[in-house]
Amino acid sequence: MGTRLDLTQDVGALTARIVDVESVSGNEKALADAVEEALRALPHLTVHRDGDAVVARTALGRGERVVIAGHIDTVPVAGNLPSRVEDGLLYGCGASDMKSGVAVALRLAAALPEPSRDVTYVFYDCEEIEVERNGLLRLSRRHPDWLAGDFAVLMEPTDGVIEGGCQGTLRAQVVTRGKRAHSARSWLGVNAVHAAGPVLAILDGHRARQPVVDGLEYHEGLNAVAINGGVAGNVIPDECVVTVNYRFAPDLSLEAAQEHVREVFDGFEVHFTDGAPGARPGLSHPVAAAFLSAVGGEPRAKLGWTDVSLFSGLGVPAVNYGPGDPNLAHQRGEYVALEKIIECERRMLDWLG
């Protein structure tokens, strides 16, 4: 018999229960089964399953539909299971990132048979590993209709603050070339590492944009994240590769960001190796405005890349909002404050109740 989740218990106890079901990326089946079973017990929801992702929807014919989503996987356990409570803090792998958010979403699913907007609850796998295995990406390709909506909230840890949109990211290799020669007769060669000096000077002198997009200020970054060159200790190197990471604000498309990098390194050989667009915060939509009003506080720009970009790609404005502390994510001593979970649940109920 599998794990059972009681969605009537208080949200702190439910979080602890979920944390104790180990679900490191790729090994989410037990938790996905428990989530599916608990949701199928709720007659007001239609439940779908794809791999270890579970989607449940109300179908009340409301004028708006919102999506509430969270990943059920965690980074590897680091001696931090089972969970324990100390001084109002719940410790355990995934407590902050993001099983407390998952618990809030499950509680809403059970507590709101007739929410003010139609709601789609999305619980997905493999968020903590390479993006190609990401469960939300898989759903967006196989079942984009399951993810349709006017607005989405990802319950990632944000310390209870609304984080809007996300910045895009791309990586490029800026390559300089030369000609090999024995270093005892270096003038017969051309040193590709020396030729990378101007590339580093461009990076060092580059001033990052800080544009305001839909009312939130973003902060870009263009950085070398690696440099490699060299053949042997007595050979003039004939190639040097500077790997550059550009984090760009969501007013640029991926293509526009690539064009910017090409301009910055005009005259150099540039290869793009990977990239993902950002997402505009989309806070101007009426359903987002109602959410802002219910949650309160000052929204801030999300600088890192997150899965909100996947919703954005489907035309669904999305924000991050969750009870966890992002600074504790992926740490052995990860915890979440019980009162933060309760507060998050209360605000979401205010919005959708």
- Footprint on residues 283-312 left by a second copy (CB under 8 A): 303-305
Reading the block at residue 15, the tokens are 């979080």
Query: Minimal distance in Å, beta carbon 202 to a second copy?
Result: 9
> Which of 56, 303 has the CB closer to a second copy?
303
Q: How far apart are CA 229 and CA 348, in angstroms?
A: 53
Query: Minimal distance in Å, beta carbon 160 to a second copy?
Result: 20
Query: Minimal distance in Å, beta carbon 218 to a second copy?
Result: 11
Which helix (H) or strand (E) is 136 found in, with range? helix 135-142
- Footprint on residues 59-98 left by a second copy (CB under 8 A): none
Q: Are the C-beta atoms of 149 and 312 separated by less than 8 Å?
A: no
Reading the block at residue 263, the tokens are 């301009």
Site string for a second copy, 198-217 (x = CB under 8 A): -xxx-xx---x---------
Q: Is 173 in the site for a second copy (CB under 8 A)?
A: no
- Binding residues with a second copy: total (CB under 8 A): 46
Q: Is 275 in the site for a second copy (CB under 8 A)?
A: no
Judged by CB under 8 A, the residue of 105, 240, 329, 352 near a second copy is: 240
Judged by CB under 8 A, the residue of 226, 262, 289, 353 near a second copy is: 226
What is the maximum alpha-carbon separation in the chain?
A: 81
Reading the block at residue 324, the tokens are 């966890």
Q: Is 230 in the site for a second copy (CB under 8 A)?
A: yes
> Which of 86, 266 has the CB closer to a second copy?
266
Residue labelled with tokens 């409301």: 62
Query: Minimal distance in Å, beta carbon 25 to a second copy?
Result: 17
> Which of 199, 352 has the CB closer to a second copy?
199
Edge-to-edge strand list for the sheet holding 335-337 = 84-86, 89-91, 335-337
Q: Is 157 in the site for a second copy (CB under 8 A)?
A: no
> Which of 15, 169 has the CB closer to a second copy?
169
The interface region with a second copy, picked from 97-105, 108-116, 176-184, 340-348 by CB under 8 A, is 176-184
Query: Minimal distance in Å, beta carbon 189 to a second copy?
Result: 8
Classify residue 125 by burial, with Cβ atoms within 10 Å: 0-12, 13-18, 19+. buried
What is the DSSP code string of 15-62? HHHHHTS--BTT--HHHHHHHHHHHHT-TT-EEEEETTEEEEE-----
Query: Minimal distance in Å, beta carbon 99 to a second copy?
Result: 22
Residues assigned a catalytic role: 73, 127
- Using only C-alpha atoms, what is the Rg of the chain? 23
Closest by CA position to 303, among listed 272, 335, 326: 326
The interface region with a second copy, picked from 22-30, 90-98, 111-119, 195-203 by CB under 8 A, is 195-203
According to DSSP, the β-strands at 89-91 and 151-154 are unpaired
> Which of 53, 172 has the CB closer to a second copy?
172
Query: Minimal distance in Å, beta carbon 221 to a second copy?
Result: 4
DSSP state of 327: G
- The answer to whether the Cα torsion of 92, 98, 101, 105 is positive or negative is negative
Residue 348 CA, chain-centre distance (Å), reads: 20
Q: Is 242 in the site for a second copy (CB under 8 A)?
A: yes
Secondary structure (3-state) at 331? coil
Q: How far apart are CA 290 and CA 39, in angstroms?
A: 26
Q: Are the C-beta atoms of 95 and 102 separated by less than 8 Å?
A: no
Judged by CB under 8 A, the residue of 44, 49, 133, 194 near a second copy is: 194
Query: Which residues of this chain interact with a second copy, rule CB under 8 A?
Result: 167, 169, 171, 182-187, 191, 193-197, 199-201, 203-204, 208, 219, 221, 223-237, 240, 242-243, 245, 247, 303-305
